[in-house]
A and B are shown apart, each in its own frame.
Chain A
Amino acid sequence: MRRVRLSALLVGLVAVLALVAAGCGGSDSEDSGGGGQTQGGAPDKGKQGGDLTFLAAADVDYLDPGQSYYTFGYQVLYASNRPLYMFAPGDEEPQPDLADGEPQISDDKKEITVKIKPGIKYAPPVDREVKTADIKYAFERAFSANVPSGYASSYFADIEGAPAEPTKGVKPISGITTPDDQTIVFKLKRPVAESVAQALVMPITVPVPKEYAEKYDAKAPSEYDQYVAFTGPYMVKNDPKTGKVTGRDPGKRIEMVRNPNWNKDTDFRPAYLDSITIEEGNDDLTVASRRTLSATSPTMCCDSGQPPIPVLSRAISQNKDQLGRVSGGGTRWIALNTTKKPFDNINIRKGVIAGFDRDALRKTRGGDFIGPIAQGFIPPGIPGYEESGAEKGFDGIDYMANPKGDPAVMKKYFDAAKQEGVTPSSGGELLTIATNADPGNQTAQVAQAQLNKMGFKLNYRKVPQDTLYTKFCGVPKSNYVICPNVGWFKDFIDPQSLLEPTFKGAAIKPQGNVNWSLLDNKEIDDAMTQAALAPAGDERSKAWADINKQIVEQAVAIPYVWDDNITLWSKDVDGAMNAYFSGPDFSFTTLK
């Protein structure tokens, strides 16, 4: 999951200090931040050259395109590599990057053919032209135990011959063939070419030269991450003889420089900047944000998704041109375990949602500065959002009608539950697993207070965010009842990638589970299976919006925000925000 990393433990303390240090002199403007809308598209014209410093708290997850899976990692990856397709800032549809045109889908929807452009070369030391065999190898290695990709088996399992289990070593996949050096064909087991084609924007399609990479991939885990062969306009500095990446010092810095073998004629990215240096370890977001706004040399910040609220509110009123905003492409919600009492009763669930002040939950993350209150599970910018009623939500669902909570509707459903012998206290003490880091910690505390007020008794435990996912909320056997800090963000622009993993019964897993509500509804599952086959366009959007409605009608979770990701920059920078990876796009950013 591309969860935005949190700069955990210190943020709470910083927030208090920030109120004193930043807020006092700032504006109390109540202007909406314009949540859900992109601000900071690709600049109309740019200035060639210049060096940019990006202040970050954490390191990227991986440079290896087979493994990279987090927002921040994508910011580096898409500037230094060329996948088959990618989104430019402002794009609603992906553009061919390595590919030389749209994917050709067969009539039976079981075959995808892609041609690639000639003349695209790897950076030193590989120095040769990219061939489709490199993309085939990239897919095959992603299914191996030594790499392994976090999503290959989710989005590309329908490729014929795709291994069901991670392979020992890199094994050929029969369903991927390369008739010539410029053509690659994907044969599928089911007629799902539309959704597989959508996923060809993912980093798994970045070519990997087999003859160079296989010695690194033979190691467990693969060492290719330290020897990536780059194809993009930029590359992380490396030793041109060995290929060893020298420009990455985890936790300290990443130095990106121009790729000497990049051919501008083959690319739509302007790549104005000469270099991008990512300075890591800026855990104090207030300091980093303020440094950025007042910097005298080109600077951007931060990898956290959102600057501290006092700094943000001030920036919105005083530094409007120094701020980029893009939808995070996801939803945050409180998951109610539908297999545990009392949430196995739908009326109790509806009552809880009706009574919840979801605006109060959103305020813990920044209020309307940060984005609209979520009314379902398809966020802005994703097909099916408009069909789901956008910010207004679905008509006729009374328990979602008032985001500030409606005690009368809550009572109506609690009374109905009582008729069935269920009350908020029916489940005894409900195991509630919250994160210990702000802002999630604050969200959970607000949720705790509201649930207590409704009559629920909680066994409230705070753990680090990673522990929350890997030991509790992602493990059904841990017997959690409420997970107040979960959320899901897109992998590509398709509602299936948002709803299927999180609400399909068949997706429930013993570990690493993300169907946190443990919703197992045959009608919804069947609808998803059908909708997966729908062609892109209105039909597909409508089908997934209907599923979204079915999920909302099941009242399995309390959605509370579709938050935006916000990036700050210094006065001399004209930043570009990319909605695909919900962050700044270095290939389009320019100096003024």
Chain B
Amino acid sequence: MVTYIIRRLLWSILLLFVVSFITFVMFVLLPSADPAVLRAGRQPTPELIAAIRENLGLDKPWYHQYYVYMRDLILHFDFGYSYQNNIAVRETIFDRLPATASLAFGAAVTWLLIGIPIGIISAIKRGTLLDRGAMGFALLAISAPVYWVGLVSIYLFSEDLGKLAPIFKGSGQYTPFTQNPVEWASALILPWLVLATAFAAIYARFLRANLLDVMGEDYIRTARAKGLGERRVVFRHGLRSAITPIVTIFGLDLGILLGGAILTETVFNIPGIGRLAFDAIQKSDLPIVQGTVLIAAAFVILMNLVVDIIYAFLDPRVRY
């Protein structure tokens, strides 16, 4: 197991290199805005642009810029400075991370709490009105874009704009946990629900399908034949097997969200990694884009690794 983890970590580092390289090359070679000209203002002289280019290190060949970036990153964990406001990227990212983590973990708990019970009940009550209703709703939730769901929920349920039941805090209300835990939670309830809606629906449908497959297996029939209660058959034997693939997608989903839930963060004005990346892309702020992409990739890779390890515990057949 240890060898496996070390091997995976080494591959992860290589992967991060590749991701950073691709991001860098995309910005340099594709026609994004020129940060030096952007900073130079209204009527820049060529000399002014050249001076800014030199200040930002953009006068060097791209491979040299990349080398300097990676050198600073590896030796000093330094992600560089924003082209826009000259603020350290590392500080900015770590400043934004708690908001994204709050959103992602809260939403993850929410969708698991909603999706798994619905999936189980639908599988057990297959073909009933309950099952059809739940799956129909799930289909609707999957089809609805999160951006739209977010806006509609604001217009229906937010304290300031809600027309139906103005009971939740709406856009721009995020408060850090360290500042006020109650405000933190109350400001995130609506974003959690919105972000969790589609995921819960996917998980419910996925779990239902898996559970139905598993419940037709021979060992389930054997368990029933041995006289085990239905609850024990479902939860002890059926669910344990059916939920294994869920763990895989859960890890990936969580990893992706930790890299920034751009749409939800934008609709609810949550100052997280996703919005930071979105703003940086608009402003061609490569150091910020590079930093957020690397962080996002690192989360996906890390969660993938965690999932693989958990897999071994969940499924006795898996050995590394």
Contacts and interface: CB of A to CB of B under 8 A. Distances in A.
A148 B267 contact: no
A49 interface: no
A49 B239 CA distance: 62
Given A250-B92, A470-B33, A512 B269 contact: no
B275 A281 contact: yes
Contacts of B33: 464, 466-467, 469-471
B265 to A, nearest CB: 8
B55 A512 contact: no
Contacts of B172: 55, 279, 281-282, 288, 291
B222 interface: no
Contacts of A282: 171-172, 269
A29 B278 CA distance: 36
Interface stretch (B100-108, B147-155, B178-186): B147-155
Contacts of B46: 509-511
Interface in B27-59: 31-34, 37-38, 40-49, 51-52, 54-56
A21 B269 CA distance: 19
Interface stretch (A9-17, A93-101, A389-397, A445-453): A9-17
B35 to A, nearest CB: 8
A225 B47 contact: no
A513 to B, nearest CB: 9
Nearest to A8: B282
A104 to B, nearest CB: 28
A252 B98 CA distance: 14
B47 to A, nearest CB: 4
A251 B37 contact: no
B315 interface: no
A154 interface: yes
B51 A466 contact: no
Contact of A251 (B32, B276, B284): B276
Contacts of B283: 466
B266 interface: yes
B52 A148 contact: yes
B38 A470 contact: yes
Given A146-B55, A295-B160, A287 B151 contact: yes
Interface string A480-517: 00000000000100000000010000010111101000
Contacts of A166: 47-48, 51
Interface string B113-145: 000000000000000000000000000000000
Contacts of B284: 464, 466-467, 470
A250 B275 CA distance: 12
A21 B151 contact: yes
Contacts of A119: none
B72 interface: no
Given A21-B151, A287-B151, A291-B160, A150 B40 contact: yes
A507 B43 contact: yes
A294 B160 contact: yes
A283 interface: yes
B267 A284 contact: yes
A223 interface: yes
Nearest to A168: B51
Contacts of B275: 251, 281, 283
B42 A150 contact: yes
Interface string B258-285: 0000000011011100011011001110
Given A221-B86, A467-B33, A284 B161 contact: no
B3 interface: no
Contacts of B54: 145
A491 B43 CA distance: 11
A153 interface: yes
A166 B282 CA distance: 28
A212 interface: no
A164 B47 contact: yes
Interface residues of B, number: 50
Contact of B43 (A279, A295, A466, A514): A514
A292 B118 CA distance: 39
A173 B171 CA distance: 50
A164 B48 CA distance: 10
A295 B158 CA distance: 12
Contact of B161 (A225, A250, A290): A290
B51 A145 contact: yes
Contact of B42 (A2, A165, A286, A470): A2
A293 to B, nearest CB: 10
B86 A469 contact: no
B43 A17 contact: no
Nearest to A53: B172
A144 to B, nearest CB: 9
Interface string A1-41: 11000001110011001000100000000000000000000
A316 interface: no
A469 B37 contact: yes
A251 B87 CA distance: 12
Contacts of A226: 86-87
Contacts of A514: 42-43
Given A283-B269, A469-B33, A221 B41 contact: no
Contacts of A252: 271
A58 interface: yes
Nearest to B43: A154
A291 B171 contact: yes
Most buried by B among A69, A166, A507: A166
A145 B37 CA distance: 14
A153 B48 contact: yes
A8 B282 CA distance: 8
Nearest to A284: B267
A105 to B, nearest CB: 24
A509 B42 contact: no
B161 A220 contact: no
A283 B87 contact: no
A55 B55 CA distance: 33
A218 interface: no
Top-10 shortest CB links A-B: A150-B41, A466-B33, A145-B51, A166-B51, A165-B47, A512-B44, A470-B34, A470-B37, A1-B42, A154-B43
29 contacts: A58-B279, A145-B51, A145-B52, A150-B48, A151-B43, A154-B42, A165-B47, A166-B47, A225-B85, A226-B86, A250-B92, A281-B271, A281-B275, A282-B171, A282-B172, A283-B278, A287-B151, A291-B171, A291-B172, A296-B160, A466-B33, A466-B284, A467-B31, A469-B37, A470-B33, A470-B37, A470-B284, A511-B34, A512-B49
Interface of A: 1-2, 8-10, 13-14, 17, 21, 55, 58-59, 61-62, 67, 69, 145-146, 148-151, 153-154, 164-166, 220-221, 223, 225-226, 249-252, 279, 281-284, 286-288, 290-291, 294-296, 463-464, 466-467, 469-472, 474, 491, 501, 507, 509-512, 514
Interface of B: 31-34, 37-38, 40-49, 51-52, 54-56, 82, 84-87, 92, 95, 147-148, 151, 154-155, 160-161, 170-172, 266-267, 269-271, 275-276, 278-279, 282-284
Given A287-B154, A467-B33, A512-B43, 12 more contacts: A1-B42, A59-B85, A153-B48, A225-B86, A250-B84, A284-B266, A287-B161, A469-B37, A470-B284, A472-B31, A509-B43, A514-B42
